[in-house]
Structure 1
Amino acid sequence: MPEMETTADHENTLRIANKSVSLRRTLGFFDGTCFLVGIIVGAGIFVSPTGVLQYAQLNVGVALCIWAACGILVMMGALCYAELGSALPYAGGEYYHVKQALGPFPAFIFIWTLILFIRPASNAARALMFAEYATRPFFSGCPTPELLKKIVALAVLWVLGIINTKSAKTTTWVQNVFTVLKMLALILIVTCGLKELAEKTEIPGHLQNAFSSPDLNAAQIAESFFQGLYAYGGWNYLNYIAEEIKNPTKNIPLCTITAVSVVIVFYLLVNISYLTVLTPKEIVSSAAVSVTWADRVIPMVAWIIPVSVAISIFGALNGGMFMLGRLNYAGSKEGHLPSLLSMLHVNHLTPAPAMILSTIIASIFVIPSDLLSLTNYFGFSTWLLVGLTVISLIVLRYREPNLPRPYKVFLPIAFGVVLVAAFLVLAPIIQSPKVQYFYALLFMLSSMIIYFPFVYFKLRVPYFNAITCYLQLLMEVAPTDIFEDPKSK
């Protein structure tokens, strides 16, 4: 879409405010680490152990190895992203890096797919899952009415949307608090599990003979990987908020390595705790393994775990919405989205228009439940985008060798991530080809309908300038290029 300019009179009106309108670098090491941990630790670790173990054919040893391998793969990808984020610390993350290395058209396909489907659908799914766990205590033994779940999901989306619009500081505080709470829940699971293991007279048989189950084929291992990687989802989000991190050349690599390392250790310990208390068959037959574990270990206060899951999802959703607003903001600054989305509120200094749009799109996904089922077929596109981002790192290494790189990843790691990403993109399509994958690919390519007329040829839409100006006044937002604050860079 075209980048529209405000009128000269309106710019003069905005200058009366005499304020610097730009994103501020306010997030330190603790904030960045909490943001990343809070994004990664959602519902996955409370639910995904069932899927990993099921596709691993109840082979406990293989399942634990898959959890560790997923962690290593995520760490490899995170190290690549740390180099890009520290060298190019600007909002937009993957989108910005792809645009710098591969050009505007691949970047436009990237942002088209992310902002219109993958990220809003992910936020909608998190909101619905939050509603499921938040209302479960009130419907003991009965399913929660679908209408109520959708109302609660919409409510939490708009509450977080308003918080993200009003104050970046409040959003960061919410993220930090909920990250600490969810980590306390994981510490409880780990501590109780290790206590149970210490009190047993002998190690459970399924742990003693961890690799005694039938051998797996490649397809089953791939499915297990997909389940494990779902629980690690969000590891690549930190670069989206790079423009708001203090001393990004130092803090982005530190936050990334610290957060991913903490998550890997906790995920392994939590799985050992589950396996100490429950048998593999009990885990596979459980809809939410953490709830089953709590009923067995802490029955008097088992309600803590469903509440903890809701808290965990809430924190992940908050971080997801924070990130998506910055992606829209970055796309607008680069001329790929309407200029209104790159404007910040003159008082709160938040990308208010971008946040409002993100919340509206996510809300649309909540209303028809069957729409969310399509997101399963976009899983391959997520790793396609990761592969493109790491390819961007390799391209920039050779094309811009003198680009300041405070942190450099060992280049074979980047090639390894590209190969794994290619496997994760092609495996589901080859293993179980379905027409939905064709629809997903068609949706990505449909971006050409917008790109060429509105971005490449800069076709102007009648009255769009006037609408932009009116919405700018209504929302009290201003373009960041009018007031440039050098201290914020």
Structure 2
Amino acid sequence: MELLQDGRSRTSSGNVLNVNGSVLQTEPHVELKQVRRLNQNRGREKVGLGKKVTLLRGIAIIIGTIIGAGIFISPKGILKHSGSVGMSLIVWIACGVLSLFGALSYAELGTSIKKSGGHYTYIMETFGPQMAFIRLWVDLIAIRPAAMAVISLAFGQYILEPLFMPCHIPPMAIKLTTAIGITSIMYLNSMSVTWTARIQIVLTCSKLLAIAIIIVPGMYQLFKGETRNFENAFELSNVKLSGMPLAFYSGMYAYAGWFYLNFVTEEVENPERTVPLAICISMAIVTTCYVLTNVAYYTVMSAEELLASDAVAVTFAEKLMGKFSIAVPVFVALSCYGSMNGGTFALSRMFYVASREGQLPEVLSMVHIRRHTPLAAVLILYPMTILQLFVGDIYSLLNFMSFLRWLFIGVVVLGLIYHRYTKPDLPRPFKVPLFIPVVFCLTCFFMVFLSLYSDPVNTGIGFAISLTGIPAYYMFIKFNRRPKWLQRALVAVKDCYTEASI
């Protein structure tokens, strides 16, 4: 080996090596593929997902994915089913407490099973690969693309609203803007974990600022004595016990998203401390914001006005702030964008872990050498989301699948209780009292029963769709009966990804 003056060296085969040992230059007789292979093999020794999720970033992920468009646009489902202002506020508080119970249960799981993947990983550890694959299958083919498309459509609509007011926004303009938003999210998550987390912090701060803009003038009105809408707040004449379960169903859906930090456990700094602390802080902030925002609405709007409004925050701003109400759609769009970003960041790690477990193509577990992002796992949802955006019946699909969310979350928490008795010596840096997972598990299964009772047709269709995961598991995973053309395609995709990552 010949040592050059600038610290580089030349091998006997003619390759010029950089000071870090990578191939910098080669003689013509050395093929480019060989150079790439040398660099690739050297990079494989170091590449991986780093621990870049701090406490602040963890809080931003949880808050950013929980708070979407609902609290700004249509928090009226709880009021409609609870029957009174006072009862609706009690339901908001109770759902916050129940969601905290679920989040604390997941905090114990996240500190005792230190793997990314969330629901998928915990079901795999407790009930085995078949049930875990069914959960993964439903997420991949239906729930996640549809949910992403819905929140993205809200982003597309509200980011355009200030430009078209008071005219109607063309549906195709909304879809094209939505597609641009989805593409930008995928690009951001593909390029840098650090910048994805930083932007998530900024978007979360914008959500909290938007909520503060509602809460502060609302509290000012309250202290001025604007309490007429709270008179007879607990009037029981309109309260129907049959509606309370539906009110709780709406409330629990509004708090959904507290589990997303568990999808990235392997990237969390000091997870034993960060995961439970981030969950507790986030749930306290979200519950406080939700309750105070609803109180602020009632200082300006009566229950009848709130139920009649299609966009509650806009109506509130028009009544209290005049022309400033034009800023509300922008804040709603930013809130939706934050949910899109946080959800994409977390879900890509579930697909990454599933590939690592051998239940998805190997390319999805590969990490980009320079960017340290699971690029293929990030992009897997992109074509399906765009497809559903333009040709799919998104809302019907969500109706089919809504009960499955609570079914599998209940199964996960049931697994925590099961582990308490079957693995008593499992290290648990964070451990909750047993009544917390028991109460939350019963809540989840009650919501599943409520779905079966209130909408048996859509629930049955959703259950049937989930059962298609059983033959898929035996065909593609258990017996590995993949068609040859599919195997060749997967190998080609893997090779292309490997070449592009160098």
TM surpasses 0.5:
yes
Higher RCO (C-alpha 8 Å, min separation 6) = 1
- Say whether the 8 Å CA contact 1:14–1:478 is kept in structure 2: no
Deviations 1:134-171 (A, max 9, x none): 11112213331111111111111111001101111111
C-alpha separation between the residues in 2 aligned to 1:199 and 1:39? 34
Distance 1:477 1:263, change over 3 A: farther
Distance 1:391 1:228, change over 3 A: same
- Post-superposition shift, 1:373? 2.5
Distance 1:261 1:347, change over 3 A: same
Distance 1:257 1:157, change over 3 A: same
Indicate the SS of the match to 1:20: coil
Deviations 1:152-197 (A, max 9, x none): 1111111100110111111111100000111011111111100111
C-alpha separation between the residues in 2 aligned to 1:309 and 1:408? 37
Asked whether 1:455 is paired with 2:477, we answer yes
Alignment of 1:213-292 (within 5 A): 213-292=236-315
- Post-superposition shift, 1:306? 1.1
Indicate the SS of the match to 1:302: helix
Q: Which residue of 2 aligns with 1:486?
A: none
Distance 1:121 1:16, change over 3 A: same
Distance 1:272 1:233, change over 3 A: same
Q: Which residue of 1 aligns with 2:493?
A: 471
Q: Which residue of 1 aligns with 2:134?
A: 109
Distance 1:412 1:60, change over 3 A: same
Deviations 1:208-256 (A, max 9, x none): 3111142533331122122222221211111001111100011000000
- Say whether the 8 Å CA contact 1:160–1:318 is kept in structure 2: yes
TM superposition score normalised by structure 2: 0.89
C-alpha separation between the residues in 1 aligned to 2:173 and 2:341? 21
C-alpha separation between the residues in 1 aligned to 2:476 and 2:172? 39
Distance 1:412 1:18, change over 3 A: closer
Q: Which residue of 2 aligns with 1:54?
A: 80
- Say whether the 8 Å CA contact 1:56–1:62 is kept in structure 2: yes
Indicate the SS of the match to 1:476: helix
Asked whether 1:385 is paired with 2:408, we answer yes
C-alpha separation between the residues in 2 aligned to 1:48 and 1:392? 34
Distance 1:301 1:139, change over 3 A: same
Farther off after superposition, 283-292 or 191-200 = 191-200
C-alpha separation between the residues in 2 aligned to 1:476 and 1:265? 47
Between Structure 1 and Structure 2, how many residues are aligned? 468
Higher-Rg structure is: 2
C-alpha separation between the residues in 1 aligned to 2:274 and 2:60? 12
C-alpha separation between the residues in 1 aligned to 2:430 and 2:477? 34
Q: Which residue of 2 aligns with 1:300?
A: 323
Matched residue type, 1:365: Q
Percent identity between the two aligned chains: 33
C-alpha separation between the residues in 2 aligned to 1:385 and 1:165? 28
C-alpha separation between the residues in 1 aligned to 2:480 and 2:498? 27
- Post-superposition shift, 1:446? 0.3
Q: Which residue of 1 aligns with 2:99?
A: 74
Indicate the SS of the match to 2:393: helix
C-alpha separation between the residues in 1 aligned to 2:74 and 2:404? 20
C-alpha separation between the residues in 1 aligned to 2:405 and 2:397? 14
Alignment of 1:161-180 (within 5 A): 161-180=186-205
C-alpha separation between the residues in 2 aligned to 1:370 and 1:470? 32
- Post-superposition shift, 1:468? 3.5
Matched residue type, 1:100: E
Query: In structure 2, which of residues 152, 162, 180 is the aligned counterpart of residue 127 of structure 1?
Result: 152
C-alpha separation between the residues in 2 aligned to 1:147 and 1:119? 22
C-alpha separation between the residues in 1 aligned to 2:361 and 2:176? 30
- Say whether the 8 Å CA contact 2:49–2:372 is kept in structure 1: yes
Gaps of 5+ in 2: 1-33
C-alpha separation between the residues in 1 aligned to 2:345 and 2:409? 20
Query: In structure 2, which of residues 465, 468, 493 is the aligned counterpart of residue 443 of structure 1?
Result: 465
C-alpha separation between the residues in 2 aligned to 1:407 and 1:475? 39
- Say whether the 8 Å CA contact 1:86–1:249 is kept in structure 2: yes
Farther off after superposition, 372-381 or 214-223 = 214-223
Indicate the SS of the match to 1:21: coil
Indicate the SS of the match to 1:17: helix
Indicate the SS of the match to 2:367: strand
Asked whether 1:42 is paired with 2:78, we answer no
- Post-superposition shift, 1:371? 3.2
- Say whether the 8 Å CA contact 2:74–2:310 is kept in structure 1: no
RMSD: 2.0
- Post-superposition shift, 1:400? 1.6
C-alpha separation between the residues in 1 aligned to 2:436 and 2:105? 8
- Say whether the 8 Å CA contact 2:142–2:397 is kept in structure 1: no
- Post-superposition shift, 1:78? 0.3
Q: Which residue of 2 aligns with 1:404?
A: 427
Q: Which residue of 1 aligns with 2:334?
A: 311
C-alpha separation between the residues in 2 aligned to 1:410 and 1:215? 37
Deviations 1:109-152 (A, max 9, x none): 11111122112211110110101111111221333111111111
Gaps of 5+ in 1: 1-7, 480-489
Asked whether 1:368 is paired with 2:394, we answer no
- Say whether the 8 Å CA contact 2:263–2:350 is kept in structure 1: yes
Deviations 1:83-113 (A, max 9, x none): 0011112110111011001111111111111
Indicate the SS of the match to 2:114: coil
- Say whether the 8 Å CA contact 2:356–2:362 is kept in structure 1: yes
C-alpha separation between the residues in 1 aligned to 2:500 and 2:487? 14
C-alpha separation between the residues in 1 aligned to 2:499 and 2:136? 23
TM superposition score normalised by structure 1: 0.92
- Post-superposition shift, 1:448? 1.2
Query: In structure 2, which of residues 138, 152, 168 is the aligned counterpart of residue 143 of structure 1?
Result: 168
Matched residue type, 2:268: I
Farther off after superposition, 456-465 or 189-198 = 456-465
